[in-house]
A and B are shown apart, each in its own frame.
Chain A
Amino acid sequence: MMTYIVFILSVIFVVSFVGFSSKPSPIYGGLVLIVSGGVGCGIIMNFGGSFLGLMVFLIYLGGMLVVFGYTTAMATEQYPEVWVSNTTVMGVFLLGLLMEVMLVLYVLKSEEVGVVFKFSGVGDWAIYDTGDSGVFSEGIMGVAALYSYGAWVVIVTGWSLFVGVLVILEVTRGD
């Protein structure tokens, strides 16, 4: 089972994506986003990216999704739509599930989980050597590099986020 853990996690990942793509009410979309975030974190951790997985949990689930949940709870309606309340939503959900099941059967029959995820060796997760003592993981050294060599990236992304807030305020303010 352990050799197929990434495959199982990725199947749950796709199923939860189907769950919110079939457009139930946003509060239920947030629910499956939590599941997909947690499972995605598991997938990344299985490839050795422990720092990135923790980032997903802390920042994505613990920061952004919590704020999303609060704003959705403020704007929710009296009878929110679930997957089984509306024929269309249920139809799309079942269709997505069916396609996923067919894909899983195809992958399992061809006896090769590698066809789904061809990873070119361990090169991407190799040790990032800064010349200091010891051995560090890529994730943490990446953050350090972001603030030293990658200053331009910080400026650009910081400005994009700032302008994003300005744009949203302008659009919702109207006249």
Chain B
Amino acid sequence: MNPLIFTTILMTVLLGTMIVMMSSHWLMIWIGFEMNLLAIIPILMKKYNPRTMEASTKYFLTQATASMLLMMAIIINLMHSGQWTITKVFNPTASIIMTSALAMKLGLTPFHFWVPEVTQGISLTSGLILLTWQKLAPMSILYQISPSINLNILLTMAVLSILVGGWGGLNQTQLRKIMAYSSIAHMGWMTAVLVYNPTLTMLNMLIYIMMTLTMFMLFIHSSSTTTLSLSHTWNKTPLTTTLILITLLSMGGLPPLSGFMPKWMIIQELTKNNSIILPTLMAIMALLNLYFYMRLTYSTSLTMFPSTNNMKMKWQFETKRITLLPPLIVMSSLLLPLTPMLSILD
């Protein structure tokens, strides 16, 4: 793509999310969502083949439906409150419709079907933008309307998302689909604590974005999109096998690594609010997630995956230099001791 146009379109994606996050008028928020959607379509279609076209079409259709539902909720809110300011949504109908619309945008169950298919059909870099940046805008609106969200609906969607994210990822060998299911599960964790303590949602979002960014960059660095080609990284750059191990265990939520921090805080917050069965279920279902991360680390870092002999001397292009990778890896694995600093947040 022409570099000038590509830059313009990328900046428009940024602008769309910024408008959503900083507007006080519901109509401007809707315009921000539409601008974001429109501008990310050519980014998803960077490589021009039928797979990306199909993925972009699926993404566009689901997000446009979600925007329409959002608009309907905005208008019902307008009819009953008479004003356009962003506050909690007082009318229950509007609140439920808005929650469903934002859940469709995030990829929560039962609206999760587009996430693996779209992530699989696009290139790794576009998938990175899709799974990290595109989650910021809907989550910021959920944060702003969090006092009025119907608890039953949100918690049902959250728990089902964690279940689907863990269960659905079990049968996958394609890395992009694994990351997509991991995204569904993490969104479930984030929305589960939204009604109780929205600050933890933001904390989880921050750490999730760091970890997903790290994983995708490691995949881009070794140009691998399947488990099989990831298992050949010991041959190309042995250091990245260790880094993949650490980051995947952090994503699974294991203790000395930073991925444990959001899960720990969320479980603590939920138990403080007298719900014990819910966080137990959530923690058990997170084990499913951990299982397929462990399978990836097993085939990549811990063993030499079976391959033919000529695959053992793998030819590759010159290594791409990814500048941000070392700080990202450090941040996505070593942040746990900083947990007491959470007391300075709100």
Contacts and interface: CB of A to CB of B under 8 A. Distances in A.
Interface of A: 118, 120, 123, 152-153, 156-157, 159-160, 163-164, 166-167, 170-171, 174-175
B41 A171 contact: yes
Given A156-B32, A159-B12, 14 more contacts: A118-B79, A120-B79, A123-B82, A152-B28, A156-B31, A157-B31, A159-B15, A163-B9, A163-B39, A167-B9, A170-B9, A170-B45, A171-B56, A174-B48
Given A156-B28, A163-B9, A175-B48, A170 B82 contact: no
Nearest to B25: A153
A174 B46 CA distance: 9
A131 B288 CA distance: 66
- Interface on chain A toward B: helix, strand, loop, or mixed SS? helix
Interface string B31-57: 110110011011001001000000010
A158 B288 CA distance: 47
- Interface on chain B toward A: helix, strand, loop, or mixed SS? helix
A163 B15 CA distance: 11
B69 to A, nearest CB: 17
A167 B48 contact: no
A153 B45 CA distance: 29
- Bin chain B's interface residue count: 20 to 34
A163 B48 CA distance: 20
B34 A170 contact: no
B324 interface: no
Contact of B12 (A118, A163, A175): A163
A170 B1 contact: yes
Interface of B: 1, 5, 8-9, 12, 15, 19, 28, 31-32, 34-35, 38-39, 41-42, 45, 48, 56, 79, 82
A163 B8 contact: yes
21 contacts: A118-B79, A120-B79, A123-B82, A156-B19, A156-B31, A156-B32, A159-B12, A159-B35, A160-B31, A160-B38, A163-B8, A163-B12, A163-B39, A166-B5, A166-B8, A167-B9, A167-B41, A170-B1, A170-B42, A170-B45, A174-B48
A152 B45 CA distance: 30
Contacts of A159: 12, 15, 35
A154 to B, nearest CB: 12
Given A120-B82, A153-B28, A160-B34, A171 B45 contact: yes
Contact of B42 (A123, A153, A157, A167): A167
Contacts of B19: 156
A25 B257 CA distance: 58
A15 to B, nearest CB: 21
A123 B81 CA distance: 12
Contacts of A163: 8-9, 12, 35, 38-39
A128 to B, nearest CB: 15
A39 to B, nearest CB: 20
B24 to A, nearest CB: 11
Contacts of A156: 19, 28, 31-32, 35
A122 to B, nearest CB: 13
Contacts of A118: 79
A175 B28 CA distance: 34
A77 B56 CA distance: 26
B128 to A, nearest CB: 20
A140 to B, nearest CB: 20
B93 to A, nearest CB: 13
A171 B5 CA distance: 12
B125 to A, nearest CB: 16
